[in-house]
Structures are given as structure tokens and as C-alpha cells.
Amino acid sequence: MAAAVSLVKLIGRYVPISNNLQSGEIRQMASSAHESSAKAILYAFLANFGIALSKTWAAWVTGSGSMLAEAIHSYADTGNQVLLYLGLRQSMRPPDADHPLGYGKLSYFWSFVVALLLFSLGGIFSIYEGVHKLHEPEPISQVWLGLLVLGVAVVLETFSLLGCLREIRSIRGEQPFRQWLKHTRNSELVVVLGEDIAAIIGLCLAFIFLLVAYITGDPVYDAMGSISIGVILIVISIFIATRVRSLLVGRSAEPIVQQKIIEIITAQPDIAELYNIITIQFGPDTMLAAKIRMRDGMELNAAIDSINEMERQLKEALPKLRWCFIEPDHTN
């Protein structure tokens, strides 16, 4: 028991977990995660595609580098939503002989690809466009049209961001937002959130620099806006890539899930001690391996029945616990 208690304390030391979060709430959070990710992706896709078309038209009319950078950013985001949805669908494929643990990590792969595209198509191209405009500045016309499109785009992106935050709220339960962002294994929502934040910041910068360029009559400010947008996109893409990288390598289940596993195992009357647990997240599904010591004097069949009952309780409390490997032993 000492090892189990120590692990619970270790988790609690770094991640405060609400005592009010019961098994039913965990089941509800798990079952809604896939639906929430799909909704957030749809919100972002519709917003980005409409905004991309309007920005392209405005960039062509005004000749604004900031507007062109924003248009490319929106097209990249639109394509990114398609890739995220592709990863979400592929991660639900059942296991087969070549992939006995399923395809859950495909959602992490496509999220990482999205981060790379955001870095290259969004960030680097925006900086390149800004540098080009600095060396060969061009006059800007019909500025009012560009400002109008940017203003409408801010409103649409805000709705997309609010939709994403609503879906996050539906699955994080009572967890504070910062805690959820730090420990979540839902890569799709992290990517959509990062893209929406980057889009709103980029739009505001484009609006400000385009307005300053109009007031001063100096197109250099528009070029500086394009470079600033590129820097923001690169910073966001690095943040997303860093978060997804740990999931690709192989990350444990969320601390709240680990705590629930420990509670269920240590509550079994036939288990004398929990030596350790290992969890790995595979997209929406979780794998558990645990080493335990059964109480002294148990017969083999009775021990097997007890372990089977414990596995049933674990999977009932944690629907996304797809694989459960329990090793009984008499030493750690």
C-alpha cells in the first residue's frame, strides 16, 4: 500500500485534483471528447474558409502585404482543419494484426503536421512577404476595404474561439483551464485553440499596421505588420509542436485518470499491495499495465477471478481504458 499512497501523493503534489470529480463525470468527459474535437474543428473550418476568401479579395484590391499574409494564413488554417479531422477519423480505426494497439496516435501525427504547416506556410511565408515589401514597397489602395474585411474576420474568429472554448469546457469538468491545457492529451483541441488565438492576434496586428500605413502614407508599416504576423505564427506553431511531440513519443494518461486507477486497484480486498502502474495514451484510448501483490493464501482461480473483476470495474469507471494488463507478483 505504501507505494500506492506515495504515487497518489506525488500526483497530487503537482496536479491538484478535485475530490468532487466522480466516475460518472470521468465517463461523461471521455465520451464527449471526440464529439467536442469534431465540433471545434468544424467551427474553425467554416470560419477560416470564409475569411480566407474575403482576405484574398481584399489583398488583391488593396495590394496590402499584411492582408496577403493573413489570406495565406487562413488558407493554411482551413487545410489544417481538414488534416485534423482526418487524424480524428483515422485514430478511431480498430486494431489489426499490424497495429495491435490501434491507430490512436495518428491524431498526434496529423496534429504535428499541422504545426509544421503553420510554421512554414503561415509563419515563414508571412515573414518572407514582409521582407519583400520592405525592399520593394508598393502603395496601398482601398484601405477601408481591407480594414472592413479584417474587422469582420476578427468577429468570425472570435466566434470560432468561443466555440472551441465551449467544447473544452464541456470535457475539462472542474479542472481550471490552465491545468487542463498543461495536462490534456487531446491534441486536436490544443491545435484548434492555438490556431484561433494566433488568428485573432494576427488579425489585430494586420488591422493596426494597415491603419498606421494609411494614416502615415508609409507602406513600410504594412510590411512590418506582415513580419509581426509571421513571428506570432511561428511562436504558436512551436508551442503546438512541443505539446504534440510528447504525445507522439508516448505520454501517460492524464493525472486524474491515473488517480482513479490507483483508487480502484487499492480498494480491492484481495490486493495486498500495488507496486506500480504504467499508462500510455493512444489518441482517445488508454493502455494500463499494473504490478500487484495478491493477499497471501489465495488460490490461482480465485486470484484470476479477482483480477478479472477489478478489470471490469476499471473499464466501467474509465470507458477509454481499452487495454488492461495486470501482473501479480510477490516482489516489487
CA distance 227 to 70: 11
Higher pLDDT, 208 or 35: 208
Domain that holds residue 112: 21-249
CA distance 257 to 131: 48
229/262 same-domain check = no
Confidence of residue 14 (pLDDT cuts 50, 70, 90): very low
50/175 same-domain check = yes
CATH code at position 146: 1.20.1510.10
Mean pLDDT of 206-231: 88
99/240 same-domain check = yes
Last residue of a domain, one of 249, 266, 294: 249
The percent of residues above 90 in pLDDT, for the chain, comes to: 22
Q: Would you say residue 15 lies in a domain? A: no
135/102 same-domain check = yes
Q: Would you say residue 16 lies in a domain? A: no
Q: Would you say residue 234 lies in a domain? A: yes
Q: So what's the pLDDT on residue 274?
A: 94
pLDDT for residue 23 is more than 50? no
CA distance 273 to 6: 12
The percent of residues above 70 in pLDDT, for the chain, comes to: 89
Confidence of residue 31 (pLDDT cuts 50, 70, 90): very low
Q: Would you say residue 9 lies in a domain? A: no
For 172, residues 6+ apart whose C-beta sits below 8 A from its C-beta are 29, 180, 184
Q: Would you say residue 6 lies in a domain? A: no
CB 305 within 8 A of CB 126: no
Q: Would you say residue 11 lies in a domain? A: no
Q: So what's the pLDDT on residue 280?
A: 94
46/184 same-domain check = yes
Number of domains in the chain: 2
- 55: enclosing H helix or E strand: helix 23-62
239/297 same-domain check = no
Q: So what's the pLDDT on residue 32?
A: 52
Confidence of residue 268 (pLDDT cuts 50, 70, 90): very high
Mean pLDDT of 51-70: 80
Q: What is the pTM of this model?
A: 0.75
CB 78 within 8 A of CB 207: no
Last residue of a domain, one of 200, 226, 249: 249
156/301 same-domain check = no
Mean pLDDT of 19-46: 61
Instruction: Calculate the CA dihedral of residues 179, 116, 109, 88 and round it to 10 degrees.
Output: 70
Mean pLDDT of 184-195: 87
> Which has the minimum average pLDDT: 64-73, 101-110, 307-316?
64-73
269/144 same-domain check = no
188/322 same-domain check = no
Confidence of residue 293 (pLDDT cuts 50, 70, 90): very high
Last residue of a domain, one of 249, 272, 301: 249
pLDDT for residue 273 is more than 70? yes
107/225 same-domain check = yes
